[in-house]
Structure 1
Amino acid sequence: MPVNARSDAQRSRVLLVEAVRSLLQAGRVGFSIPELAAEAGVGVATAYRHFPTPQDAMRAFHGRAIELLLEAFSQIDAEYPPPGDHRTPSVAADPIERFHRFCAAWVDQAMQWGAAVRYVRSSAGFIERLSDGDEAITAMHDILADVLESLARAGKTTEFDVTYAVLLWITIFDERVVYDLAEHRHWKPADITDHLTRAVAGALDITI
């Protein structure tokens, strides 16, 4: 495929995924591919080439939301000096600070896409998808597990089943919880972050 054609295809896919978010946020859960194409401003044939069914489009949107969350986590971890680097580490190098920053980034991301993602649910559980080798779920598990294991090494929490601990963290920070608190309790992001962070800390006996 020529470079320009690939670029056009990538641009169309981005537009379609963003259109999924717009439609779901507007409550148009039962949209069709022609409706998605119209929302994205692309041709119907182009939309079908990317997403044969609305379910395919919604899965792609959900996958992109997870990617954005993982990118936000990676940006936090980018502040850590690499092994052998003797520069003064940033404040994020403290495991408690890292935990807090992950929680804040999570709420920030959920405020952006949570209203739409709450309509996209998998019938499979988190651990089931992890066992099946789901790449996005595995990446999410591994980075959160590293945060929790760092806390344990620093003596900030007791030993635990790390996968169970990650499951609890994900459950408490579910986008539907963030959406509920923001839209129906009118809490500010900082308040949501504080309460949910304390809930995870309490559930996992983390000293914060």
Structure 2
Amino acid sequence: MNDGGEGTGRATRSKRADARRNEKTLLDAAAAIFVASGVDAPVRDIAARAGVGVGTIYRHFPTRSDLIIAVYRHQVEACAEAGPALLETSPTPHVALARWIDLFVDFLVTKHGLAGVLQSDNTGFEALHTYFLDRLVPVCTQLLDAAVASGEIRSELRAYELMRGVGNLCVGAESDPRYDARRLVGLLVAGLRGPN
């Protein structure tokens, strides 16, 4: 006679998978709202976009700081995973790099609000910044190396420099509608090609 242990195990794994999907949906919705409206956007807007009640968000993320940190980590992982996928699916490595930088800009716009939220926790902010560099610099390096190897871009630029430059171009973009950081970042990425 089956004691149900195997079925219970499958049900538990299924619930965990559902919980991960639900959390991903919440984090995707929060990231989109943060990009559009900043990290101070009302939680009800995030809930509406995710198709859940406000209480569901607070069950997963009891404070705004918890939500912002989770979105930050979620976006770092999404950027890290996107690099290799874009290299496989883009027509050229330079196109893959440009598409990845576009995702990175979305991430940076969200990230700007993080500093204010974590002001009182410098250790936490430093740990997240280290995590950010550890996960994304190798991905950007892989994209740059592929574009250099294909002969599409110059070879003297390092990933950290490019990411820092893009970051600097994004500073203040969320508070000045006359400033189009994405356009300037696009010019920077196009300029990597150098003279023909």
TM-score with structure 2 setting the length: 0.60
SS for the counterpart of 1:119 is helix
Deviation at 1:28, TM superposition (A): 5.7
1:134-149 alignment, distance < 5 Å:
134=131, 136-148=132-144
Percent identity reads 21
SS for the counterpart of 1:68 is helix
CA RMSD of aligned residues (A): 4.5
Q: 1:102 to 1:130 in 2, by over 3 A?
A: farther
Kindly provide the amino acid, as one letter, of the partner of residue 113 in structure 2: Y
1:3-152 alignment, distance < 5 Å:
3-24=13-34, 25-27=36-38, 29=40, 31=42, 37=47, 40-43=50-53, 46-78=56-88, 92=92, 98=93, 100-110=94-104, 115-121=109-115, 134=131, 136-148=132-144, 151=148
Q: 1:114 to 1:175 in 2, by over 3 A?
A: farther
Contact 1:16 1:37 survives alignment (8 Å): yes
Unaligned runs of 5+ in 1: 80-89, 93-97
Unaligned runs of 5+ in 2: 1-10
Alignment counterpart, residue 157 of structure 1, candidates 155, 158, 162: 155
Number of matched pairs? 175
TM-score with structure 1 setting the length: 0.57
Contact 1:69 1:106 survives alignment (8 Å): yes
Distance 1:73 1:6 in 2: 27
Determine which structure has the larger helix proportion and give its number.
2
Q: 1:194 to 1:7 in 2, by over 3 A?
A: closer
Contact 2:105 2:170 survives alignment (8 Å): no
- 1:169 lines up with 2:185 in the alignment: no
1:12-46 per-residue CA deviation (whole Å, 9 max, x = no partner) reads 212321332354222461656x7755664434554
Distance 2:144 2:38 in 1: 36
Deviation at 1:4, TM superposition (A): 4.0
